[in-house]
Structure 1
Amino acid sequence: MARLTFDDIYHVSLSSLGAAADDWKEMVDQLDTLATDAVDGMVKQADAARWAGANSDVTKPFVRKTAKEFGDAHTQAKGIWSMLRDAHSDLVKVQSDIKKLVDVEAKTKNVRVTGLDDGTVYCVYLHQRGDSDQRTQKQLDYLDDLASRINNLIAKADEIDNSAAGALKKIHGSDSHNFGHAKYDSLDDVQAERAVQLAKKSLAKYKQGEELSTKELAELKQLLSDNAKDREFSVDFYKALGPKDALRFEAQVAIDASAEGDKTQLKLAHSIQTSMGVALATATDPPTGKDNPDTAFRENKDYLGKAWQSELKRVGRNKLELGIGFDHAEPVGYQALSSLLRHGNYDKSFLVPVAEDMVTIERKGGGWPIPDQFNGENHFGLNLDKKGGPGWDPMTGALEALGHSPEASTAFFNGSTGEGADDDLKKLSNLDYFLGDKDGKNGREWPADKTSGYILPDEKSKTFGKDALGHALESATTGRAYDSDGPSVKHGQEQADLFHTVVEKIGSNPDLVKADGSLAPIADSLGNMSAEYMHDIQRTIAGGDQSGYIGHFGADAYLDDLNEEGNELKQFLQATAEDPDAYASITHAQQAVTTEIIRDAMANPGDETLSAAATRAAAPGGEISGLTSAGRADAIAAADDSVEKINEYNQKLETGNKWVSRVVEMGVGKIPVGGDVVGWAVEDIQEATLNHYTKDPQEAADQIVERKPRELSERRARSGRPGRKTSGSRRSTTGRTLH
């Protein structure tokens, strides 16, 4: 079948297809009436008649068969109408999207889009008088991106066209004298069926040492990417495959592509993995308004409920039997699932039990197959993302999923494992499992995630999972995905309480997140969390806020008890600031909140002079700046190349300024800031922060070297003072004890 081209889609009028769909809707209604009349009329009368002989043996079956044909005709007409209806609406959407890109966006950028014979497009900047036609790399990248977006839409239209045409043939069947062939209620049914066929074909070929062709992989990639967020398609796809075959297929495609696939195969496999993850998130999300009514014995057709999820857990604990050739490298289901979980926003009713089941397995002494220790120079992975490691540690994917799923992450880190009906484990909070006890010990033993080399994996290969832990904590405490560019979300009490506990744990054991600490990779996320809670931090450093200048952004984290004997808050800030990303986040947020407080204080100084009010308002920000500067100085002094380290801090200050706008947009200050003033305020604060905190590399390095002996002496003296408070528990205003 010839592929649709750009010109086919851009210029075609879809009105006739819409009219055909409307005509078939009328046919459906008319045949529905005929089918009902046939059953209620002919069949009932024939069944009621007291016929004997030939009338009974021949006529009655004929009447029933005829009535069935009316019913089959109605079903077939309904299927045809469904295909035409869905194809029309989907193609109209694709055509509209293409025209927006071509007629609006491309024209605005002075770009011409030309259709090519192979169905794709070519984009080029139009010549303008006085233009040298010399393009920057950014401009050239834009052309590639625009062409890619249009080509993806063309491929989507082609898939819709092929799916609808194939379905119409199956609905009509090969016998033109008989109704009642393939039955479809929507185009989603057709596309899910085809996706399942390709996945099962891949599984069958794998047993023979073969794999899908590039053309078949491309078709499956298109089907999944077009429909990953469609509930009907996603549920049908995963139900038809079942948990084991879905995970086996995903693992086989990933391992083949990473081990020996060319760039095209690897790109297709990565897209399939990403779309399968998004589709799983879609399929396991309970429909709005339904409080997960399923039991293990009753499955809801609208999503993958408890029965499917229970089977997934069973599959997750066992080897997938891929036939890799190395028994110790055979992944279990959870390892394959982990790569899917990295993509999509998952409902907590699905994700939290899965993550806790993984924790339970580890707590019972279970491990995960990792090929590196035995297999030499292998290069096959389960995770095809450019970042995040090869994916043999499934907890990494689970934590990444939590990082993208705020409600689930908050629930997970407020939850625990152990003391269940089916295990003899002692109860342990999920937060303690990862961060350790009050002394910072007995936390999770991070397995290596490396697939090549005879040497046992080094610490670097454990970084992927620890990074993901930081992402999950960030999501759990802030209420939004860690990589979201959207505005901050007002903190709920559970989120604020988690932040308090994290500060307490890390502040009591600051070496955990310093440069050579076992949890150093989470420091950048701790910096982002601190930036989110900068109002709480400044209010605490100020010793309270009697004047009411420092507002709340949602629930209070109640950090006051961490600014007393143990100084956990200050220890936390100083240790976290040894990471350049964290330092930049904290510094920009601190400057924004300080500016806000000073503005409010000077607008309403009360009995104070303006100078006194401003000085008092600036004090907590100044103290925070001193703490983070000390952390920065420690990191620079410990670096092999101090000048290079200072340059890194300077660069992060330039790229980490998003926190200024986020803090300003929180709108916590007493004086409203809106409209164009927001932009001016953000730019002014960002510029002031860079001017004040950016350091000359060589000069700063020399100063730190000169001051270091004196600072070390002072710290030794301070560390010898009595009164160090250990991490304990506190009672929140909600009446809950936090540990």
Structure 2
Amino acid sequence: MTFTYLDLSEVDLGKLSTAVSDWKDTVSGLKSLAENARKGMQAKSDQARWAGVNATVTRGFVTKTTKEIADLHTEASSIHQVLADAHTELISLQKQIRTAVETDAANLGISVQDIGEAKVRCFFRHIRGDSDERTQEQLDAKQELENRINRILAHAAEIDASVARALRKSHGGDKHNAGHSSYESLDDAQAQRAAELADLGPKMSDKQYMELNSIMRFNSKDADFSTDFYKSLGGPKEALEFYGRMSLDGTIGDDKGRLALARQLQRNMGVALASATDPDNKSHLPTNWATEFRKLGTQQLQLYPGGSSAPYGYQVLGGILRYGNYDARFINPIAEHVVQLHREDPYRFMSSKPDIPGSDLDWGYNPSGKNGAGYDPLTSVLEGLGHSPDAAKKFFTDTPTVYNEDGTVNKNASLDYDYFDELNKTDFEWAPDSLAHAGSDESKHAREMGPNALGHALEAAVTGDAWDADPPELHRDEDTAEIMRRVIERYNVASEEGPPPEVMKDSLAKMGASYIDDLNYSIMDFGGSGDALDRDALFKNSSDGSTRTSFDEQKARNFMMLVAGDEDGYKSLTSAQQLFMASGLAAFENDEDRGIAFAQNAAKVHGILDESRSHGIREEFKDPEEAQQMLQEQNGEWRKSLVSGGVTVAATAGAAILLGPAAGVVAATAVPLVMESAGSAISTAYGNHTMEYLKDNEYTNDPQALQAVQDVEKIGERAATQPVLNFAQTTGMSNKEATDLINEIEQSYLAGKTAISNNEKVSS
């Protein structure tokens, strides 16, 4: 029978609760009966002096009966534990799905249709007179709801299948023989089944592979399950051998179905290893697993008898480490060891790459296909740090530990470099993590994998969340701010170390957007006229004073010039700045002087960003006419920041700051945002007039819209200036005072542009 949506949403779990209670009573009764049998007839039988037939038949019968009663108790206990755990999990899932359908779907005007196979379809109900046109935000919300419900159903279906399987094995199918498989929990039953499937290795059928992934998908974060699963593989070496064989099986050839299964396994094993190696979890692997992984890191593993190109342990482990939020005590010693090995010989692991004729370039230990084939463990471990923010922060700030070749600690040695400086050197030599032949088109990007992974690790260290978290959340402190300070010092237009690799620019932009408040705070010293006390008062709502950072003003400006010179970097920083400025105006509606000072400084930052992009365009486009056209498309972006009231963002790409009117300019959460070249697709509470303006002008992306964007500097012209007028009205300004305010902000904006223009002249 196929599990359906109605099975979960409408089933009476009270009956299951009653069954759990009944089995609990049965376990209690059988426990007493088993104890009585053992202490009573079994003890008397053991003490009796049997002779003749009684010595063989009667004594054997008593022993067998006592054992069967004990086996019945074991079986009943196993059934009770499995049912009790299933009841607890199903109650939670039923509550989640009812909330999703009865509350979330209802609020969105969405209906949920059961389509079988443990799946549903969500659709908007038609209302008479409705055009049935939906915004992208509404469509995204519908899809998110559908995905969420289907995940809940898939989880419930897995529990249902696991319980049925565990009950069958506990019973054994023999009514005359109690006591077969026994489980202490549902996790225990699922871990045992996962171990049975894993034991098949590449011989698993696709159906069995899907079952293994299904079990792991919903249990990999459970420390009891993940610890039991990894132990069932044997040890560190056996775990690497299993994953290595499954990776090669999934990445060879053109079987897309098998590749998809290998990708799921890679993610599941990574998340499970992170859970199983966290020493703070009640259940976790012994610490010697980490030591053994480091020892195996420089040893080659024979995945297949007589096979060639045997991989190093770190190459196989790296594929697993790419997923999961790892504890620093586990992953950082591995990361340090890998960096130190790489410094000694950047190509030491490349010797194991197979020489494969043809185009099978995906064969390796990173089935995901993201950032390399999995032969460079440095790329892999940096990706691991990119998903482990606390570990990444410690990696870039803690004093390094020296490791020997075998991964043991060299207590008598110290490093004369730190990992931030080492990895961010201009001449750092990255190994080509690809099977592409040198000189081929595919090999051109082979050395970009490492720098891209470094950007991800820095993102996690600076923002306090995984680089690809959706949505991300900022967790900043003194250490993250210190790393950001070093990023700004290393990557700016005046850096002696040179520009960043192209693939790192998106990470730098997201880091800058996450620190947009502190970049504004730093620019407040522009021209040496900033007052520290006034500056702190202006930014009191944007971040805790203990974590607020003043970067060197010139370096902060040079960093923005570097990042915003690139189109995508410009969009990310400008998006964040728009929201920061808008919410700041709302926060100071009752404090005219500070509101004006805040707006002036924010406009100055916008000037810096706009002129930085203009400079970037001049560098990108040599044809004067083409450059002018592009410049017009970008000009005036800052003015659209003057949106109304407090802003709450929920969109789909990039990075910005979640701000709200109640909390003022609160840099609390990094959230995604979309920017188009000539306008902005921002999902926010703009106000009807502004939304109409966006709809009529910006979304059309035509020359008339571009001209309208430039014309908004005129007082009363369209909606972009409305919030400034709102601010003036709230604070009781006269028309002349409001006009002067617009002019002052314009001058601040021009001052920011001039600063970058001067930079450009000096650099040229």
Kindly state the Cα deviation for residue 201 of structure 1 after the two structures are TM-superposed: 0.4
DSSP-derived class of the 1:428 partner: coil
State whether structure 2 residue 303 is matched by structure 1 residue 312. no
- Which residue of 2 is the match for residue 279 of structure 1? 272
CA contact (8 A) 1:413 1:431 kept: yes
- Which residue of 2 is the match for residue 549 of structure 1? 537
Task: For 1:112-261, list aligned pairs within 5 A.
Answer: 113-116=113-116, 121=120, 128-130=127-129, 150=149, 152-173=151-172, 175-203=174-202, 205=203, 212-241=204-233, 242-261=235-254
CA contact (8 A) 2:463 2:473 kept: yes
State whether structure 2 residue 476 is matched by structure 1 residue 477. no
- Which residue of 1 is the match for residue 450 of structure 2? 465
Kindly state the Cα deviation for residue 636 of structure 1 after the two structures are TM-superposed: 0.6
Distance 2:18 2:153 in 1: 23
- Which residue of 1 is the match for residue 574 of structure 2? 587
State whether structure 2 residue 353 is matched by structure 1 residue 354. no
DSSP-derived class of the 1:533 partner: helix
CA contact (8 A) 1:173 1:181 kept: yes
Kindly state the Cα deviation for residue 533 of structure 1 after the two structures are TM-superposed: 2.9
Specify whether residues 166 and 621 from structure 1 end up closer, same or farther in structure 2 by C-alpha distance, changes over 3 A only.
Answer: closer
Kindly state the Cα deviation for residue 7 of structure 1 after the two structures are TM-superposed: 5.1
Deviations 1:166-213 (A, max 9, x none): 32232223554343322211222222112122222024x3xxxxxx32
Deviations 1:574-612 (A, max 9, x none): 22222333333433444555567777888567xxxx5xx
Task: For 1:317-336, list aligned pairs within 5 A.
Answer: 317-323=298-304, 327-328=308-309, 330-336=310-316
CA contact (8 A) 1:376 1:453 kept: no
Deviations 1:308-347 (A, max 9, x none): 222222333333434599845x443333333333333222
Specify whether residues 126 and 490 from structure 1 end up closer, same or farther in structure 2 by C-alpha distance, changes over 3 A only.
Answer: closer
Distance 2:688 2:96 in 1: 35
Specify whether residues 687 and 583 from structure 1 end up closer, same or farther in structure 2 by C-alpha distance, changes over 3 A only.
Answer: farther
Distance 2:62 2:304 in 1: 56
DSSP-derived class of the 1:303 partner: coil
- Which residue of 2 is the match for residue 448 of structure 1? 432
Residue type at the aligned position of 2:111: V
2:418 aligned to which of 409, 413, 429: 429
Kindly state the Cα deviation for residue 100 of structure 1 after the two structures are TM-superposed: 4.6
Kindly state the Cα deviation for residue 487 of structure 1 after the two structures are TM-superposed: 7.6
Deviations 1:360-398 (A, max 9, x none): 221232533374876452232433446434343333332
- Which residue of 2 is the match for residue 674 of structure 1? none
Distance 2:129 2:41 in 1: 82
Deviations 1:245-274 (A, max 9, x none): 433333443444343344433333322222
CA contact (8 A) 1:114 1:123 kept: no
Deviations 1:629-663 (A, max 9, x none): 34322311121464786599689999878635348
Residue type at the aligned position of 1:402: L
Deviations 1:113-133 (A, max 9, x none): 1444x6655666655545677
Residue type at the aligned position of 1:213: S
Residue type at the aligned position of 2:286: G
1:562 aligned to which of 552, 565, 569: 552
Kindly state the Cα deviation for residue 15 of structure 1 after the two structures are TM-superposed: 3.6
1:506 aligned to which of 479, 491, 500: 491
Task: For 1:570-581, list aligned pairs within 5 A.
Answer: 570-581=557-568
Distance 2:146 2:533 in 1: 58
Kindly state the Cα deviation for residue 4 of structure 1 after the two structures are TM-superposed: 3.3
CA contact (8 A) 1:539 1:550 kept: no
Distance 1:125 1:517 in 2: 42
Task: For 1:626-665, list aligned pairs within 5 A.
Answer: 626-640=607-621, 642=627, 659=656, 661-662=658-659
- Which residue of 1 is the match for residue 746 of structure 2? none
Kindly state the Cα deviation for residue 25 of structure 1 after the two structures are TM-superposed: 0.8
CA contact (8 A) 1:660 1:685 kept: no
Kindly state the Cα deviation for residue 496 of structure 1 after the two structures are TM-superposed: 2.0
Q: Provide the alpha-carbon RMSD of the alignment.
A: 4.7
Distance 2:358 2:402 in 1: 41
- Which residue of 2 is the match for residue 340 of structure 1? 320
Task: For 1:667-678, list aligned pairs within 5 A.
Answer: 667=664
CA contact (8 A) 1:6 1:120 kept: yes
Gaps of 5+ in 2: 404-408, 641-651, 668-682, 711-753
State whether structure 2 residue 50 is matched by structure 1 residue 31. no
Residue type at the aligned position of 1:360: Q
Residue type at the aligned position of 2:552: L
Normalising to structure 1: TM-score of the pair? 0.75
CA contact (8 A) 1:320 1:332 kept: yes
Specify whether residues 322 and 34 from structure 1 end up closer, same or farther in structure 2 by C-alpha distance, changes over 3 A only.
Answer: same
Distance 1:185 1:414 in 2: 43
Aligned residues: 667
Specify whether residues 73 and 624 from structure 1 end up closer, same or farther in structure 2 by C-alpha distance, changes over 3 A only.
Answer: same
Kindly state the Cα deviation for residue 225 of structure 1 after the two structures are TM-superposed: 1.4
CA contact (8 A) 2:611 2:756 kept: no
DSSP-derived class of the 2:113 partner: strand
CA contact (8 A) 1:474 1:529 kept: no
CA contact (8 A) 2:659 2:665 kept: no
DSSP-derived class of the 1:227 partner: coil
Specify whether residues 659 and 427 from structure 1 end up closer, same or farther in structure 2 by C-alpha distance, changes over 3 A only.
Answer: same
Specify whether residues 169 and 321 from structure 1 end up closer, same or farther in structure 2 by C-alpha distance, changes over 3 A only.
Answer: same
Task: For 1:376-455, list aligned pairs within 5 A.
Answer: 376-381=358-363, 382-385=365-368, 387-417=370-400, 419-420=402-403, 421-422=409-410, 426-436=415-425, 441-442=426-427, 444-453=428-437, 455=439
Residue type at the aligned position of 2:467: Y
Deviations 1:197-249 (A, max 9, x none): 2222024x3xxxxxx32212221221111222222221111111133343333
Specify whether residues 648 and 154 from structure 1 end up closer, same or farther in structure 2 by C-alpha distance, changes over 3 A only.
Answer: farther
Distance 1:174 1:599 in 2: 70
DSSP-derived class of the 1:260 partner: coil
Residue type at the aligned position of 1:422: N
| Larger displacement relative to structure 2 (189-198 or 516-525) | 516-525
- Which residue of 2 is the match for residue 730 of structure 1? none
Residue type at the aligned position of 1:554: D
Specify whether residues 100 and 562 from structure 1 end up closer, same or farther in structure 2 by C-alpha distance, changes over 3 A only.
Answer: closer
Normalising to structure 2: TM-score of the pair? 0.73
Kindly state the Cα deviation for residue 431 of structure 1 after the two structures are TM-superposed: 1.0
DSSP-derived class of the 2:552 partner: helix
CA contact (8 A) 1:316 1:332 kept: yes
CA contact (8 A) 2:433 2:446 kept: yes
Distance 2:691 2:322 in 1: 33
Kindly state the Cα deviation for residue 68 of structure 1 after the two structures are TM-superposed: 3.7
Distance 2:377 2:662 in 1: 37
Gaps of 5+ in 1: 206-211, 291-301, 671-677, 702-709, 721-739
CA contact (8 A) 1:410 1:494 kept: yes
| Larger displacement relative to structure 2 (655-664 or 382-391) | 655-664
CA contact (8 A) 2:436 2:443 kept: no
Distance 2:284 2:460 in 1: 25
CA contact (8 A) 2:241 2:301 kept: yes
Specify whether residues 46 and 428 from structure 1 end up closer, same or farther in structure 2 by C-alpha distance, changes over 3 A only.
Answer: farther
Specify whether residues 102 and 473 from structure 1 end up closer, same or farther in structure 2 by C-alpha distance, changes over 3 A only.
Answer: same
CA contact (8 A) 2:393 2:462 kept: yes
Kindly state the Cα deviation for residue 275 of structure 1 after the two structures are TM-superposed: 2.2
CA contact (8 A) 2:220 2:226 kept: yes
- Which residue of 1 is the match for residue 723 of structure 2? none
Deviations 1:403-448 (A, max 9, x none): 3322111111113545454386734212112113xxxx45x32222
- Which residue of 1 is the match for residue 344 of structure 2? 364
Residue type at the aligned position of 2:495: P
